Amino acid sequence: MSEKQRKSKLTLYLAAGVAAVLASALAYYITSQGGPLDSIIEERLIESRITMAQVQIARLSQAVEMYQMDNGKYPSTTTGLLALVAEGGVTEEQLTDPWGMRFLYAMMPGGGYELRSAGPNGIPGDEDDVLAP
């Protein structure tokens, strides 16, 4: 290998090393400043938790319907989802949403029921509550 080729390879390796160091520094700076990468990750995490809550609500709704078939009525608002635990249909852990809060259950006037999660902010009855899909 000629001297010129060795210098050319060395220059190429140095340039690649410098590019890697600069890319690492830039990635560190962006993430430490709460840059766009952090917000994208946070958005995806919230979206996945919302989907998980919807799936859990659908499963709990099935358990409520099974309870109704077995008992001829829905659980009362007072008894709520704990009636499903007493019947052996679900565990207490399954009554907790992805944000660590209990799912909310209430009988509706005129029959039926409502099942929801208070959502990411944990405040029931506002715009980020999660309902069945």
Q: Which domains does the chain have, with CATH numbers?
A: 52-131 (3.30.700.10)
Candidate from 2-11, 20-29, 31-40, 110-119 with smallest mean pLDDT: 2-11
Higher-confidence residue of 29 and 74: namely 74
**What is the pTM for the complete model shown?**
0.71
Distance CA 28, CA 112 (A): 52
Higher-pLDDT residue of 81 and 25 is: 81
Residues 103 and 117 sit within 8 Å (Cβ to Cβ): yes
> To the nearest whole number, what is the mean pLDDT of the chain?
84
Spatial distance between the Cα atoms of 118 and 104, rounded to a whole number of angstroms: 7
- Other beta carbons within 10 angstroms of residue 31's beta carbon come to 13
